Structure 1
Amino acid sequence: MFSAARARPAPGPCRSLFADRAFRRLMPVFALSDLGDGMSVVAVAWLALALGPGGGRGALAGIAVASYVLPGALGALLLGRWTRRLPARRLLVTDAATRAVLLGAVPLAHLAGVLTPAVYVGLLGASSLFHAWGKAGKHALFAPVLSEGRRRAANSVLSTSLWSATIAGPALAGFLVRAVSPAWIIGLDAATFAALAVRTARTPLPRSSEPPVTGGAPRGPGILRRRPELLGLLLVTWVFNLAFGPVEVALPLFVSGDLDAGAGLLGGYWAAFGIGAVIGALALGAAGRLPLWPAVLGIIAGHGVGMLPFALTDSAVPSLIGFAFAGLVYGPYSALSLTLIQDRAPAGALTTVLAARGAVLLTASPVGAALGGFLLDRTSAPAVLVGSGVLMILTVPAGIVVLKIHGARTARAVRAPRGA
């Protein structure tokens, strides 16, 4: 919380957060693994282009990128029977160790001359099977022992690390790939996960962050159905991610076609978005107590407003400013939505709920990208980009309806015992 008597650069929740020895020890390896994943964004596709046959390199790159992400959704669904009983620390260590071993096998197979496209895709896919559970464990690790203010600060720091890695990681990989094979960059990613696994396993944690293992651990979808507010947040976030999916497809065409510019300007758009997101995530850590649901809906609306300048095609300046603004308001979204889940979900089922959330959200962006490709065959890139923004803005009234329904049900539940 803020202290009115002292004016220091860092806010109270962040100061007390880094005073926690466990968080202070783990945050550097969290940031390191984020940086490794940021480098792999470039390295995974680049290595696929080198391995693929002459006419199918693009297809292999798409399959490789999908294999690095999508099996996590499958793992969240198929492995839940066993993994939902595990404490957050064990989930995080299991995921990090799995990724360290399987991603580390990529440069070894490359060195041995046995890294075929099939082996490569298989290693990437297997490495991501536990990833939804690992991310759930990462965000659930400290939730039971932090107050709401410190919990929001922790989510803000984690989001800032992730957004910083999306800027620095690809740039670092682009520099390294000139000197070494992208297989070795994936090996560096594996090393960051090995460091994460070892440090997490050795760091003492408060006992309350390790909930007891029970045979009747609840299922994520069942918990969401019984909590309309969490289900509503998941649906709103899914539509939000769906609306952003076409942007990844339409933005390159907007830059190359409507603005008649090259890859440098495209990189400038994403850099502007990423820098805005880092500033936004940091601003959340420095902010006071924000009402969570209004802030979440306000971010979605603000992001949609930031997409509207893409209707102007005479110059890149308006859309660059709008895209940077969209990143600025989007930066706090993950931290706020995760804080809302941590506050509302049962403590013993937090990792299960977070894994179910991750599995569902993994499907939104690919569906949106496919929808964007379909629309681009029938309309212009500016229309798709502006349409994405309009869909985001229209998501807000739907979220308000969800809130009203939830409020009405809560009021009836409170009045029922009195009437009885």
Structure 2
Amino acid sequence: MPKLTHFRVPHRAWAGRSYRIHTAATVVSGLGNAGAPIATAFAVLRMGGGAAEIGWVTGARLAATVLFLLVGGALADRLPRQRVMVAANLGNALSQALLAVLVLTGQARLWQVVLLAAANGIGLAFFAPASEGMVMESVDQRHAPRAFALFRTALNSSQIVGAALGGALVAAVGPGWVLALDAAGLAAAGGLRVFLRAAAPVPRGPGPGMLVELREGWQEFRSRRWLWVVVVQYGVVNACLIAAESVLGPLVADLRLGGPRPWGLANAAMGAGLVAGGLLMVRWQPRRLLLAGTLGVLMFGLPSAVLAAGAGLPLVAAAMFASGVGGTVYGVSWMIALQQEIPAARLSRVAAYDWCGSVALAPAGTAAAAPLAGGLGLDGALWASAAVMTALSLLVLAVPEVRELVRGTPAAAPAEPKRLEPVTA
């Protein structure tokens, strides 16, 4: 009995009720979210679309996310994060359910898919900053590495199953049912998050409004060179990555790998890599956080290079696995750096600028994928994507703050900025 008590107390000390509920809800929604992009891409292909049409759908979702991210980050610092996440989950469940009905009944038109993809992107813009803030506020900094790594492992485990199941279901029963399952998972996740116990927002006086608070978040963001340099770098890398995996990859799968089922297995292999990276980060705590994270981003170019080389499914899956490992190494290291360096009261606003910078170029990347493939050929476009991702990941290491930011000893923060007074007419 003493041993059992000794085991449970430390567990409760860091993995509290809100952390467990949020993680469980993330797993539930992750099962559907992993299959939804595969389903959407092949739904567009079955409607007679091609690379350009897939790019429009993906670009609409990303553009909507970019446009609303800053508002979402400001609201997540003003309102209980739990309520923001629940509303976003339920809104996305509705948009995915409508898309599923249209696809299942054969009534889907491209403009409808684009519009619902944009609605899904708006939901993500409100959900993402609140979610990051929720994970960070549910555990203290002493246990953050373990908590972030296990959270990522749980999320990525669901993506393994979701991607493999999604690809198989698209091949077996069509993309509409995969989208319906995603809608159900999002609704269930929203229901779970109703029971979260979020910290109360910081009390605010009657003076400054949302615009002033966004300016404060911008000051926090731009005052740290390591922060904005990595976000700019990752923004370009992410644009190349999404173009390769959401537009060019499904085309290669349709032409050379055998369709949605093998592409789902390749995405499941990436999910397995994400889980393996999470298990690695539970035990490995690199001292130089951003150096380790950037080395992880170097793995992102492997799938594009392997697809361009005309490799078969085993080698594509291996490259996707390595990319997944690198993604979790980067993600966990980045989350720890943000929690360590950014004041909690401004964390969601900074996370919004982070997200905004990270996805701002993605719509352009997806829009450019088809013309680039037309000019360079499908393989040439993939080689170009791999080259850009690799070069930028090496270039960012030239910034001393990126190489030298150390775990557990927060860098000297800049002087607290003066609170901006509201502008009056």
TM-score by length of 2: 0.74
Q: CA deviation at 1:116?
A: 3.7
CA RMSD of aligned residues (A): 4.4
Q: Say yes or no: does 1:277 pair with 2:271.
A: no
Which residue pairs with 1:36 in the alignment? 32
Judged with a 3 Å threshold, the aligned counterparts in structure 2 of structure 1 residues 57 and 250 are, in CA distance, closer, same or farther, namely closer
Which residue pairs with 1:355 in the alignment? 352
Conserved 8 A contact 1:307-1:389:
no
Q: CA deviation at 1:270?
A: 5.1
Q: Say yes or no: does 1:293 pair with 2:290.
A: yes
Q: Which runs of 5+ in 2 are unaligned?
A: 417-425
Q: CA deviation at 1:28?
A: 1.7
Task: Give the alignment of 1:16-415 within 5 angstroms.
Answer: 16-18=13-15, 20-50=16-46, 52=47, 54=48, 56=49, 58-77=51-70, 84-109=77-102, 115-203=108-196, 205=197, 208=199, 210-212=201-203, 216=208, 219-220=213-214, 222-228=216-222, 230=224, 232-243=226-237, 245-246=239-240, 262=257, 272-288=269-285, 290-300=287-297, 303=299, 324-368=321-365, 377=375, 380=380, 382=383, 385-398=386-399, 400=401, 410=412
Judged with a 3 Å threshold, the aligned counterparts in structure 2 of structure 1 residues 351 and 280 are, in CA distance, closer, same or farther, namely same
Q: CA deviation at 1:40?
A: 0.5
Residues 9-33 of structure 1 deviation map (CA, whole Å, 9 limit, x = unaligned):
x9x9877544x22322332221010
Q: CA deviation at 1:74?
A: 1.2
Conserved 8 A contact 2:65-2:122:
yes
Conserved 8 A contact 1:307-1:326:
yes
Aligned length in residues: 394
**Corresponding letter in the other structure for 2:276:** I
Which one is further off, 72-81 or 110-119? Answer: 110-119
In the alignment, the residues of structure 2 paired with residue 308 and residue 319 of structure 1 have an alpha-carbon distance, to the nearest angstrom, of: 9
Q: CA deviation at 1:156?
A: 1.8
Conserved 8 A contact 2:301-2:386:
no
Conserved 8 A contact 1:88-1:140:
yes
Conserved 8 A contact 2:273-2:324:
yes
In the alignment, the residues of structure 1 paired with residue 52 and residue 181 of structure 2 have an alpha-carbon distance, to the nearest angstrom, of: 25
Q: CA deviation at 1:303?
A: 3.2
Judged with a 3 Å threshold, the aligned counterparts in structure 2 of structure 1 residues 21 and 31 are, in CA distance, closer, same or farther, namely same
Conserved 8 A contact 1:17-1:153:
no
In the alignment, the residues of structure 2 paired with residue 123 and residue 37 of structure 1 have an alpha-carbon distance, to the nearest angstrom, of: 15
In the alignment, the residues of structure 1 paired with residue 113 and residue 356 of structure 2 have an alpha-carbon distance, to the nearest angstrom, of: 23
Q: CA deviation at 1:97?
A: 1.4
In the alignment, the residues of structure 1 paired with residue 347 and residue 401 of structure 2 have an alpha-carbon distance, to the nearest angstrom, of: 25
Judged with a 3 Å threshold, the aligned counterparts in structure 2 of structure 1 residues 306 and 36 are, in CA distance, closer, same or farther, namely closer
Judged with a 3 Å threshold, the aligned counterparts in structure 2 of structure 1 residues 175 and 221 are, in CA distance, closer, same or farther, namely farther
**Corresponding letter in the other structure for 2:357:** V
Which one is further off, 183-192 or 214-223? Answer: 214-223
TM-score by length of 1: 0.75
**Corresponding letter in the other structure for 1:26:** H
In the alignment, the residues of structure 1 paired with residue 97 and residue 248 of structure 2 have an alpha-carbon distance, to the nearest angstrom, of: 36
Conserved 8 A contact 1:372-1:384:
no
In the alignment, the residues of structure 2 paired with residue 266 and residue 221 of structure 1 have an alpha-carbon distance, to the nearest angstrom, of: 43
Q: Which runs of 5+ in 1 are unaligned?
A: 1-5, 415-420
Conserved 8 A contact 1:224-1:230:
no
Judged with a 3 Å threshold, the aligned counterparts in structure 2 of structure 1 residues 116 and 293 are, in CA distance, closer, same or farther, namely closer
**Corresponding letter in the other structure for 1:236:** V
Judged with a 3 Å threshold, the aligned counterparts in structure 2 of structure 1 residues 312 and 43 are, in CA distance, closer, same or farther, namely closer
